Chains A and B, each alone.
Chain A
Amino acid sequence: MRRTRWFVWLVVVVAMVGAACGEADDPTTATGGDDNEAGSTTAAPTFDAGTTMARIQQKGEITVGVKYDQPGFGQQDPATGEVEGFDVEIAKLIAVAILGGDVDSVEDKIEFVESVSKNREPFIQDGRVDIVVATYTINDTRKQVIDFAGPYFVAKQDIMVRKDDTSIKAVDDLNGKKVCTAKGSTSEKNIRAKAPRADVLLFDGYDECKEALVDERVVAVSTDNTILAGYVDRSPDELKLVDNPFSDEPYGIGLKKGDEAFRDFLNDRLEEIFEGGQWGDAFESTLGQLGLETPDTPTLDRYGAAGGATTSTTGTGGTGGAGGSGSTSTTGASSTSSSTG
C-alpha cells in the first residue's frame, strides 16, 4: 500500500513538472528580439464600442492563427519557440493598428496559435482566434462559413521536380503521372482540374511530399510557388522549379463571418501598409530571404456584404491607388467555382 501511494505522488510531481516545462516552452511567453527594422511607434486609436477592434483592445491582446511549418510564411524556430515569416509580420502590422506600439514590442501582445489547414475554419467560428493569417487561399466554399480580408498576397501554383527531370514542363505533363500535394490545400483541386488524369497522392504536409519526390515515389510536387521556393532554396542540387505557374492563389486574412466593420478595418489597414511600404519591408525580411523577388502589391477584394458567396463586386469597392496597381486580378481565382450561399 505504502509503495502504491509513493508511486502516485511521484506521478503527480512528474506531471506538475511536465506542465511547468510545457508552459515555459509556450511560444507566446517566449520573448526575444528579432532583427526587424524598428517601425514607428503609434498610439492605440479609439474604436467604436462593440466592434471587434474595441474588444481586442480591451483584452489587450490579439489571438492570431498562423502556420508553424511553412517556411517563409509561418515557421517556428525550434530553439526559441518563436514563429517567423511573412504571415507573422502581417499579423504584427495588424496588431499595431489596434493595440498601438511598434512591430517589435507588439509581439508581446499577440498570442500565436498554430493553425493547420484543417482547423482554420473551426478556430475562427469558435472564436478561438481573432484572425487567421496562414497561407489561407480565398475561395467561395470558405466564404460560406467565414469572411476574408485581403488578399495580402497572391501566390501562384507551380510544380517542383527532381533536378534531372526534363519531361515535365507544364501542368498538362502531369497527366498519367504521380503527383504529390498536401491534404486540405487548394492545390489538389487545381491539379485535378488542370490535369484530370494525374494520380494525386495526398500527405499531411509538404515535407513528406518532398521526401516522396526525392525517393522517386512521385514525379512532381505541386503547390504554391512560395512554398516550393523554400524547398528548392534548401536543396538546389536535388530539386528545381518548373516555373510555369498555372493558377492564382490569393491569400486572405480569415475572420468571423459577417463582421463587416472588422473586415473593413483590416482591408483599410492592408491598404495602408501596401502604400506605406511596410508590406514590402515585411516581404523582403521573410520571403525575400528565400530568393523571391518582391511582387507588386495585390488588389484588395472588398467583396459584397455578408450573406452570400457572391464575388460580383470583387475589387471594385477598393479605393483606387493601392500601391503598385496589383498585377494580378484576384477575381478569376476566387470565382472559379461560383456558387451562391
Chain B
Amino acid sequence: MSITVALTLTSFAAALVIGTVVAAFRVSPVAPLRAAGAAWVEVLRNIPLSVLMLGFYFGFTKIDIRYGEFATAVIVLSAYTSSFVAETVRAGINSVARGQAEAARSIGLTFPQSLRVVVLPQAMRTVVAPLGSVFIALIKNSSLAGLIAVVELTDMADRISFDTARPIPAFLGAAVGYLLLALPSGAVVGLLERRAAIKR
C-alpha cells in the first residue's frame, strides 16, 4: 500500500506542475506553443495507460533510454495524468471572465504574468473538484504499475492470491485498500473545495 501511496503522490505532484504548464501553453498567444500543448495532451490521453507503461518500459530501452521500474512507473503516470490535469486547468482558465485577463494586460502585465498573478489563481478555485477526480483516477491507475513489476497494491493481491490459491479474498483486500485511500482523498478534496469557494 505504501508503494501505491508513493506512486500516486509523486506522480500527482509532477502531473500538477506539468499539466499547468501545458494548460498555459494551450491558451498562449504563441501558435507553436499551443500546438505543442495540444499534441502533448492528445497523444497521452488517447493511448491506453497499459500500452504507455509497457511501451515506455520496453520500447525506450531499444533507444537506450532506461529507468528503473518505479521511476518508469512515476514518469508514465505523471505524463499520462498531466494530460488530464492540463485539460482540467484549461477549462478553469476559460471559466475566468475575459475582462480579468484584459484588465491584467492593460495595466502592463505580460501574458505569463497576467496568467500567473490574475487568471490562474482564480482558475484554480473552480478546478479543485475536477482535479480531485483526476487524483482518485490516478490512485486506481497506479495499479497498472504492476505490469512492469512494481509491487503495488494490486500486484500484492496477485501474489497473495497465488500463495494461498484463494484469489477472491486477496482481491477483496485490494478493493478495501483502494477504498481506504480514495475515500479520505475525496473528503480532503471536499474540504479544499469549501475553502477555495467564493463566499456568496
Q: Interface of A with B (CB < 8 Å)?
A: 117-119, 121-122, 141-142, 144-146, 180, 183-185, 188, 201-204, 208, 211-212, 215, 217
Instruction: Give chain B residues whose Cβ lies under 8 Å from the Cβ of A119.
Output: 167
Q: Give the residue of B54, B61, B69, B167 whose beta carbon is less than 8 angstroms from that of A118.
A: B167
- Near A by CB (< 8 A), chain B positions 133-174 give 147-149, 151, 155, 158-159, 161-168
Nearest Cβ on chain A to B56's Cβ, whole angstroms: 13
User: Do most interface residues of chain A lie in helix, strand or loop, or is the interface mixed?
Assistant: mixed
Nearest Cβ on chain B to A226's Cβ, whole angstroms: 20
In the complex, the number of residue pairs spanning A and B with C-beta atoms less than 8 Å apart equals 49
- Report the interface size class on chain B: 20 to 34
Instruction: Give chain A residues whose Cβ lies under 8 Å from the Cβ of B155.
Output: 183, 202
Asked whether B58 is an interface residue with its Cβ less than 8 Å from the other chain, the reply is: yes
CB pair B66–A145 under 8 Å, yes or no, is no
Known: A203-B149, A215-B61. A118 touches B162 (CB 8 A): yes
Known: A201-B69, A211-B58. A121 touches B167 (CB 8 A): yes
A2–B192 Cα gap in the complex (Å)?
43
A201–B158 Cα gap in the complex (Å)?
14
A124–B27 Cα gap in the complex (Å)?
57
User: Do most interface residues of chain B lie in helix, strand or loop, or is the interface mixed?
Assistant: helix
5 pairs, CB–CB < 8 Å, chain A vs chain B: A118-B158, A141-B163, A142-B165, A202-B151, A215-B61
Q: Give the residue of B58, B61, B167 whose beta carbon is less than 8 angstroms from that of A122.
A: B167
Instruction: Give chain A residues whose Cβ lies under 8 Å from the Cβ of B164.
Output: 141
CB pair B159–A183 under 8 Å, yes or no, is yes
A204–B174 Cα gap in the complex (Å)?
18
Instruction: Give chain A residues whose Cβ lies under 8 Å from the Cβ of B161.
Output: 118, 184
A17–B64 Cα gap in the complex (Å)?
44
Instruction: Give chain B residues whose Cβ lies under 8 Å from the Cβ of A185.
Output: 162
CB pair A117–B162 under 8 Å, yes or no, is yes
**Residue on B nearest A186 in the bound complex, by CB:** B162
**Residue on B nearest A189 in the bound complex, by CB:** B163
